[in-house]
Amino acid sequence: MSKAPVLTPRADDFPRWYQDLVSKAELADNGPVRGTMVIRPYGYGLWERMQRELDDRIKDAGAANAYFPLLIPESYLAREAEHVEGFAPELAVVTHGGGSELEEPVVVRPTSETIVNASFAKWVQSYRELPLLINQWANVVRWELRPRVFLRTTEFLWQEGHTAHATYEEARDYAAHIHRNVYADFMERVLALDVLLGCKTPRERFAGAVNTLTLEGMTGDGKALQLGTSHELGQGFAKSFGIRYLSREGRREHVWQTSWGSTTRMLGALVMTHGDDAGLRVPPRLAPTQAVVVAVREDDAVLAKAREIGRRLTEAGVRARVDDRVDTPFGRRAVDWELKGVPVRIEIGPRDLESDTAMLVRRVPDDRAPVPIEALPATVPRVLTEDQALLLAQSRERRAERTAEVRTVAEAVEAARTGWARLPWDTLGPEGEARLAERGVSVRCLVAADGSVPERVDQPGNIAVVARAY
Amino acid sequence: MSKAPVLTPRADDFPRWYQDLVSKAELADNGPVRGTMVIRPYGYGLWERMQRELDDRIKDAGAANAYFPLLIPESYLAREAEHVEGFAPELAVVTHGGGSELEEPVVVRPTSETIVNASFAKWVQSYRELPLLINQWANVVRWELRPRVFLRTTEFLWQEGHTAHATYEEARDYAAHIHRNVYADFMERVLALDVLLGCKTPRERFAGAVNTLTLEGMTGDGKALQLGTSHELGQGFAKSFGIRYLSREGRREHVWQTSWGSTTRMLGALVMTHGDDAGLRVPPRLAPTQAVVVAVREDDAVLAKAREIGRRLTEAGVRARVDDRVDTPFGRRAVDWELKGVPVRIEIGPRDLESDTAMLVRRVPDDRAPVPIEALPATVPRVLTEDQALLLAQSRERRAERTAEVRTVAEAVEAARTGWARLPWDTLGPEGEARLAERGVSVRCLVAADGSVPERVDQPGNIAVVARAY
């Protein structure tokens, strides 16, 4: 008699497997208002670790955190024509406050370009204030008709950077710096996600940007997930909001701007990329708990030894915890740790005490072996480093295996059933892009012939990478 | 000819001095929607340090962070009768989303008891899940008719804790633990604020609580500021939301609950307590920048020495930065650092290089003296420790000096013109409280005769502490 699977197998129904995992690993629940989510402590613990790692990189890039209001006058959004057109269909509108109808309705921020730039117009006077580099950690609301937890939610959490520079070149370079040295570095090194860096086509650009840089990840079912974007905004907002500075030469000039964001969608990416049929697999550098020491059953000597191992692992720099919930069956706890994807599990029972060993169970390669207890403080950190690299390698391999070179729209649509397709942008073009879109396939990004991020959309030799996307 | 003061003097107009300081120290601006605020990078840097210190204490108290939706169905609030009555007048209501009118309006959270407890009802099954200890860092909206930046804003940032326990005693003790070991410890040790701990009268309690513990601080003009509250919620929400658990004995019982919060209002308290006519004075343990090394003028040797001092202070564990903005006049920079309240300023110019000394300027005791450069890495940390203690002592002294013992409502009103008054609660009572309220004076809290937090509002010997409040 075989056990019923804990989760719907990925091969049967990938989206249902995803929902099952998010729920059973206690990452998140749906909220009562359609499209909203409750991020549970385990899911939020992952988000906190993401925040810490990203925030460090953002500060290294010279940006300072600040906070702008949630509520924005409707008229602000209208000041930048493309911007309001892009966001109007998704707005949540507050019409009543403090018991009476408001004179001017206010919107719940869908993003903060307008309200941030109204402040920038006050703060920027001269070249001395430039570059002005601001980041905000906040919640935003975009009314979502086809919600999917973490990936598309009516409310989500994110960081949004907003900067102002004296020259076009400086703004362009800063957007690229964030793209490469903040986002890609974080996603590859910490999240162990293989990401493709490129730029968006005009059709897929952020509403109000002149160039959008993107990072695209491949999910376990070969689709694409946009994981972060960094925009060159040109001078559009600067002109709409009157952000001008006095240059060293005494001239009044409009600033050049960028904005960039990454969201709780990264939690969904983690699941969809690293998850397997037993649950999540959390990259060790991200994991709030890297190693859990599980006391197999109620026994004073076992519990004492489990706590000692926990202490010694902590001293060795491992984020360790002890599972001493011996009134819950061991099997159920083991399944739970697999679901949650804790990288290393150390199981210890009465027989292990006799041999002075413990069972070391690795989540990433799905491997178990007895290890002398004395050796654990040296072995566990080594294993964690290996498993971090293994997850990234697996993510890279998947994309290499599942990316096809094609020549036509029909081939691209066919390839997008199971993975990504690459074809020359000059043969595809905006018309081919529109035909793909009719079939549910989009151009995720353009990359240069040598694999780098193109300087311009129409740079000769650009390759369009196309896929179905979540 | 004397200089015009940078700020309106406190003695002339305390509220205007406060507004001036908040603006000129670049802590915050008003947002475009009435009552909202933009927290500028310097203000937000203080908030981030508060968050880190509070979050560590909250985690030490066993609570885990999570995130609940911003948008709450209107019907949820109505489930707890006292709660909805308390919050209805302050709600912001979203009536339109995604381009159409909503079937049921949703409110922007004014606090999260209702939506958190809807989740608790799902999560709690048995005694094994208890105590359930959750905290959330979030923004909330309460429509504010008389806004004052940081103190009363339509949107503010806060943390809100929500817990469920198996017994009344455990919930009561946890609320008291947060009150004393999280909030009071943080406010006294980090913010250097003298706080009075007591419980609220029924009139001043949180809507839905059976007991509210509070921390009250005294401002520079002798008024009171509520700085944090910790509520025993009894079983009211548990019954409204159906939060029941199976006890060890196999019975289905309602949980006992607490909630507790502290907000960006603490930034206002910092200004109103520690500020002087030259600006803010930031307690060293809180300060994002504890020491700024100011290069007096453009000079390669001076700049090199300033950077070396900055480096050596950093190595000595001081949060130091170098002010090398030599194209801004020295005097203007000095005024700016005073406004911002950086605890230690080290000024270095060409003449200091000759004597191998630098001018050490302390913000808290307003003291300046030359110090040998070699001695700085030892001197600065010692000075920071002293000044932290000094701020707390000054805050304590002020309350001692400005608190009067009185016997009648008339005397209390008179005393509240310049400070706080204490009188027996059994002679004041709810009727006396109502008469005080007509004169703009409120009972800030009750304390026991021995100065401790009373176990009950009607405990014999309780003292009412009354004041005007911001």
> Could you give the residue range(s) of every CATH 3.40.50.800 domain in chain A?
291-399
Inform me whether the pLDDT recorded for B2 exceeds 70.
no
Contacts of B90 in chain A (CB under 8 A): 98
CATH number 3.30.110 is the correct assignment for the domain at A403-467: yes
Structure tokens at B149: 């930046």
* Nearest partner of A263 among A111, A97, A96, judged by Cα: A111
Interchain contact, A67 vs B92, CB within 8 Å: no
Determine the 3-state secondary structure of B426 from DSSP. helix
Q: Residue B320, exposed/middle/buried by CB under 10 A (0-12, 13-18, 19+)?
A: buried
> Could you give the residue range(s) of every CATH 3.30.110 domain in chain B?
404-467
Cα angle value B55/A320/A347 (rounded, 5°): 145
State the nearest Cα–Cα gap between B287 and chain A, in angstroms.
Answer: 15
Contacts of A39 in chain B (CB under 8 A): 66-68
Instruction: Give per-residue pLDDT as tens, B331-374.
Output: 999 999 999 999 999 999 999 999 999 999 999 998 999 999 99
B17 interfacial to chain A (CB closer than 8 Å) = no
| Cα torsion through B377, B383, B385, B391, rounded to 10 | -150
> Which of A65, A93, A115 is the mutation pick for testing B, counting most B CBs within 10 A?
A93
CA B343 to chain CA centroid, Å, is: 20
Architecture in CATH for domain A291-399: 3-Layer(aba) Sandwich (3.40)
Contacts of B128 in chain A (CB under 8 A): 325, 327-328
State the nearest Cα–Cα gap between A228 and chain B, in angstroms.
Answer: 21
Portion 319-358 of B in contact with A at CB < 8 A: 325, 327-328
Contact A308, A315 (CB under 8 A): no
Q: What are phi and psi of A463, to 5 degrees?
A: -105, 135
Residues 6+ apart with CB under 8 A from B219: B14, B225, B269, B272, B273, B470
CA end-to-end span of chain A, whole Å? Answer: 37
Interchain contact, B141 vs A44, CB within 8 Å: no
Inform me whether the pLDDT recorded for A347 exceeds 70.
yes
Instruction: Give per-residue pLDDT as tens, A75-107.
Output: 998 888 888 888 888 999 999 999 899 999 999
Confidence at residue A3, expressed as pLDDT on a 0 to 100 scale: 63
Residue identified by tokens 């933009």 is B38
Q: Chain A residue closest to B90 (CA)?
A: A98
Indicate the average pLDDT of chain A.
96
Cα–Cα distance, B407 to A46 (Å, whole number): 56
Prediction ipTM score: 0.96
Which helix H or strand E contains B344, and what residues bound it? strand B344-348
Interchain contact, B70 vs A99, CB within 8 Å: no
> Could you give the residue range(s) of every CATH 3.30.930.10 domain in chain B?
14-274
CA B80 to chain CA centroid, Å, is: 28
* Nearest partner of B306 among B378, B359, B343, judged by Cα: B359
> Could you give the residue range(s) of every CATH 3.30.110 domain in chain A?
403-467
Q: What are phi and psi of B256, to 5 degrees?
A: -110, 140
A225 interfacial to chain B (CB closer than 8 Å) = no
Contacts of B139 in chain A (CB under 8 A): 70, 138-139
State the nearest Cα–Cα gap between B48 and chain A, in angstroms.
Answer: 9
Q: What are phi and psi of B41, to 5 degrees?
A: -55, -40
CA A177 to chain CA centroid, Å, is: 18
Instruction: Give per-residue pLDDT as tens, B52-82.
Output: 999 999 999 999 999 999 999 999 988 888 8
Inform me whether the pLDDT recorded for A5 exceeds 90.
no
Helices (H) and strands (E) in chain A, counts: 15, 23
State the nearest Cα–Cα gap between A105 and chain B, in angstroms.
Answer: 10
Confidence at residue A190, expressed as pLDDT on a 0 to 100 scale: 98
Of A37, A93, A143, which is closest to B95 when you measure between CB atoms?
A93
State the nearest Cα–Cα gap between A153 and chain B, in angstroms.
Answer: 11
Interchain contact, B64 vs A70, CB within 8 Å: no
Of B66, B92, B325, which is closest to A94 when you measure between CB atoms?
B92
Instruction: Give per-residue pLDDT as tens, B410-459.
Output: 999 999 999 999 999 999 999 999 999 999 999 999 999 999 999 999 99
B56 interfacial to chain A (CB closer than 8 Å) = no
Interchain contact, A72 vs B33, CB within 8 Å: yes
Interchain contact, A32 vs B99, CB within 8 Å: no
Classify domain B404-467 at the CATH topology level.
Translation Initiation Factor IF3 (3.30.110)
Interchain contact, A29 vs B106, CB within 8 Å: no
Positive/negative CA dihedral, A203, A205, A208, A211: negative
Helices (H) and strands (E) in chain B, counts: 15, 23
Interchain contact, B32 vs A141, CB within 8 Å: no
CA A370 to chain CA centroid, Å, is: 36
Confidence at residue A1, expressed as pLDDT on a 0 to 100 scale: 40
Interchain contact, B67 vs A122, CB within 8 Å: no
Instruction: Give per-residue pLDDT as tens, A44-74.
Output: 999 999 999 999 999 999 999 999 999 999 9
Indicate the average pLDDT of chain B.
96
Residue A269 one-letter amino acid: A
Determine the 3-state secondary structure of B364 from DSSP. coil
Cα–Cα distance, A436 to B179 (Å, whole number): 60
Portion 120-159 of A in contact with B at CB < 8 A: 122, 128, 134, 138-139, 141, 143-145, 154-155, 157
Confidence at residue A237, expressed as pLDDT on a 0 to 100 scale: 95
Segment B198-220 shows an average pLDDT of 96
Confidence at residue B3, expressed as pLDDT on a 0 to 100 scale: 62
Confidence at residue A80, expressed as pLDDT on a 0 to 100 scale: 81
B101 interfacial to chain A (CB closer than 8 Å) = no
A250 interfacial to chain B (CB closer than 8 Å) = no
Instruction: Give per-residue pLDDT as tens, B27-43.
Output: 999 999 999 999 999 99
Contact A241, A283 (CB under 8 A): no
Classify domain B14-274 at the CATH topology level.
BirA Bifunctional Protein; domain 2 (3.30.930)
State the nearest Cα–Cα gap between A61 and chain B, in angstroms.
Answer: 15
CA B418 to chain CA centroid, Å, is: 22
Contacts of A93 in chain B (CB under 8 A): 94-97
Segment B192-203 shows an average pLDDT of 98
Instruction: Give per-residue pLDDT as tens, A173-198.
Output: 999 999 999 999 999 999 999 999 99
Banded pLDDT at B5 (limits 50, 70, 90): confident
> Which of B70, B117, B263 is the mutation pick for testing A, counting most A CBs within 10 A?
B70
**Chains A and B: how many Cβ contacts under 8 Å?**
173
Confidence at residue B1, expressed as pLDDT on a 0 to 100 scale: 40
